[in-house]
Amino acid sequence: MRLLQFVAALGLVGTAFSQSSTVKSYVASESPIAKAGLLANIGPSGSKSSGASSGVVVASPSTSNPNYLYMWIRDTSLVFKTIIDQVTLGQDTSLRSQIDNYIHAQAIIQQVSNPSGTVSTGGLGEPKFYINETAFEGSWGRPQRDGPALRATAMITFANWLLDNNNATFVTNTLWPIIKLDLDYVSANWNQTTFDLWEEIQSSSFFTTAVQHRSLREGSALATRIGQTSVVSGYDTQASNVLCFLQSYWNPTSGYITANTGGGRSGKDSNTVLASIHTWDIAAGCDAATFQPCSDKALSNLKVYVDSFRGIYPISSGIDASAAVAVGRYPEDVYYNGNPWYLATLGVAEQLYDALLTWDSVGSLDVTDVSLPFFKQFSSGVTTGTYASSSSTYSTLTAAIRAYAEGFVAIAAKYTPSGGGLSEQFDKSTGVPVSAVDLTWSYASALTAFGARAGTKTASWGAKGVTVPSQCTGNAGPSVSVTFNVQATTQVGESIYLAGSVDALQNWSTEYALLLSAGETYPTWTLTVTLPASTSLQYKYLRKANGTVTWQSDPDFSLTTPASGTFTQNDTWR
C-alpha cells in the first residue's frame, strides 16, 4: 500500500507497473535463452561453435559483416567468469566440465607464439586467436593488456572455490602456473600503453587499469593462501602502484571518469561502467578508490555517461531527461554508424543493482557533493548526508533507483527480437538488431545483470581496506637498447626520422619524430633508442625537407623487442 501511494504520487502507476511486469516476464523468458545462447558458442559441442576447440568461446558465430569467428581473451574471460560464478555460487554445478575445458584451452593458448610475442616476450597481450587455437597473424590493435588480468580473475575465482572444497592439488599443480604467467605479465606491463577494450585507442585505459588492479590484489591473496609467497610482495607493490594510477582517470571538474588517456574523445565511455561492475566487491562498500558501483564517483560518472546519450539516438527521442535511455559504447562511436549496445545498456542496470545490494548490505546510503547530481534525478530536494536504511529518504531513493535500473532492462527487452537472440547492437533509428548476431558477451551481460537484479553477490576479491599511496610510482619495466638502421638515399637538406606506436617512438607524432643520423655510414641512417623490453610495436620512417614531410609507404614495420640486451634492426626505405 505504501509503495502504491508512492508511485501514485509520482503519477507513474500505469507505466511503473507495466514496466515492472514487462521486465519480470522478459527476465523470465530471456534468462534461459541467454544461457543457451552463451553455451551454444562454446566448443567443442556448442551448437553454433562448429570448428572451435574444446573450451574455446566463439565471440559470435557471425563470419562476415562482421567476422567475429575468433576467440578474444577478454570476451572469453568474462564469459567464463560468469560460468565460474554460477558453478561456485551453486547456481548451476552442471557447468563444471565446461570450466575444465576452458582451463585446458587457456593453458594451450598462453603458449601459442603470436604477433605480440611468445609466452615470455609479450605474447600474453595478444587479443584474439583463431578458434582452433592458432595465432591470428593479421594486423590488429595489439597488445590489449586487460586479457591476462581478466583471465587471472576468472581462474582465481575458481581456485578459491576449489581450495574451499579440498582440491588444493589442482590449484597448485594446474591453475597456479597459468595464473602466475598472467599476473607476472600484468605486474611487468601495467604501466605500458595498451589498446582499449574496443580495440581502437592505444593509450592507458581505465577498464584495463581497473581489472589489472583487481587481478594483482586477488592474485597476491591466492599466492599467500597456497604458500607461493615469493610473488606476494611484488604483486602487492604493483597493486598499490596501479591503484594510485587508477585515481588519475577521475575528472573532478566534470564529475566523470575519463576512459582513455588518448584518443581525443570526451572519454565518456561504457568502459568505465563495465570496469565498475567487473570489479564490484560488496565487502568494500561504496569505496571510491576502487570505483565501487555505489561510490560517489562511479554514480556521478554513470549519470554523465548516460546523459551523453540523451538526444543522439532517434529511438530515444521524447524520453524524459531523468528516465532510462538506450546507451552505446561512447557517444562519438561511428562503428556501424554508432548504435546502442545490449551489453552497455544492461551494464548500466547491473551497476545500479550492484549499488542497491551494497547499500542494503551497508545499511545506509551516502549522498555526497560528488554524487548529489546523480541522486537529484530521483528526488530533486535531496541533500547531502547519510541516510540509514530505516529512513524514508533511503526507501524513496532506492525504490526510484530500482525503477530506473528496471528501465534499462526494459529497453533491452523492447529491442530484443522475438526468439530472444542478442546481437551486439540495436539500430539507433529502427531498434532492429545490428552487427554480429548471438554475441556471447551480450548473453553473458544479460545473465550477470539478471543475476544482480535477483540479488546475486559475487565473491569478494579483497577491495576492502585498500589504501591509495600518497605518491604514484610508475613501472616502466625492463628496457632494451634498440638500434634502427635504414638505407635511404636523400637529397641535400633532407633528413630521415622515425616514429612509432610507443611513447619512446613519439606515439606516431610527425612533429616530434626522432631524427636519425648518417655520417660515414650514408646511405645508412641510424639511431639507438631505449625501448620497453618484450614489447611488440609498429614504426615507420619519414623524411623531412624544407618543411615537407613524406612518410614511407605502407605497411608499417613491426618489431617485438627482446626481453633484455641490445638489438639491431636493419630496414630499407620504401
Ligand X SMILES: *[C@@H]1O[C@H](CO)[C@@H](O)[C@H](O)[C@H]1NC(C)=O
Mark residue 506 as left, alpha or beta (left: phi above 0; alpha: psi -120 to 50; beta: remaining): left
C-beta of 100 vs 200, nearer to ligand X: 100
3-state secondary structure 519-544: CCCCCEEEEEEEEECCCEEEEEEEEE
Phi, psi of 402 (to 5 degrees): -65, -45
Q: How far, in Å, CA of 438 to CA of 36, rounded?
A: 10
Which residue has the CB atom at the shortest distance from ligand X?
474
Q: Does 261 contact ligand X by CB under 6 A? A: yes
Site string for ligand X, 506-525 (x = CB under 6 A): xx-x----------------
Place of cell 551480450: 442
Q: Which stretch binds ligand X (CB under 6 A): 96-104, 143-151, 249-257, 297-305?
A: 96-104
Site for ligand X in 184-203 (CB under 6 A): 191-193, 203
C-beta of 307 vs 571, nearer to ligand X: 571
The DSSP result for 117-173, as a single string, is B-TTTTGGG--EEETTS-B--S--S---TTHHHHHHHHHHHHHHHHHHTT-HHHIII
Task: Give min distance, CB of 440 to ligand X, in A.
Answer: 18
C-beta of 47 vs 132, nearer to ligand X: 132
Catalytic residue, chosen from 30, 75, 133, 196, is 196
Query: What cell numbers appear for 461 in the block?
Result: 576479491
Q: Does 568 contact ligand X by CB under 6 A? A: yes
Site for ligand X in 403-462 (CB under 6 A): none
Q: Does 503 contact ligand X by CB under 6 A? A: yes
Q: How far, in Å, CA of 385 to CA of 397, rounded?
A: 13
Catalytic residue, chosen from 100, 199, 200, 332, is 199
> Which amino acid is residue 398, in one-letter code?
T
**Rounded-to-5 percentages of helix, strand, coil across the chain:** 45, 15, 40
Q: Does 36 contact ligand X by CB under 6 A? A: no
Phi, psi of 346 (to 5 degrees): -70, -30
Q: How far, in Å, CA of 279 to CA of 461, rounded?
A: 8
Identify the CA nearest to 291 among candidates 209, 195, 232: 209
Task: Give min distance, CB of 425 to ligand X, in A.
Answer: 25
Q: Does 472 contact ligand X by CB under 6 A? A: yes
CB 459 within 8 A of CB 88: yes
Sort strands 385-388 and 566-572 into parallel, antiparallel or unpaired.
unpaired
Task: Give min distance, CB of 418 to ligand X, in A.
Answer: 33
Q: Is 199 known to be catalytic?
A: yes
C-beta of 208 vs 368, nearer to ligand X: 208
What is the total count of residues that contact ligand X (CB under 6 A)?
33
Task: Give min distance, CB of 92 to ligand X, in A.
Answer: 14
DSSP H or E run through 497: strand 494-500
Query: What cell numbers appear for 32 in the block?
Result: 534461459
C-beta of 245 vs 450, nearer to ligand X: 245
CB 47 within 8 A of CB 40: yes
Q: Does 474 contact ligand X by CB under 6 A? A: yes
Task: Give min distance, CB of 503 to ligand X, in A.
Answer: 4
Q: Which of 545, 555, 565, 566 binds ligand X (CB under 6 A)?
A: 545
Active site residues: 196, 199
The residues of the shown chain that bind ligand X, judged by CB under 6 A, are 96, 99-100, 130, 132, 134, 162, 167, 170, 191-193, 203-204, 244-245, 261-262, 472, 474, 491-494, 503, 506-507, 509, 545-546, 568-570
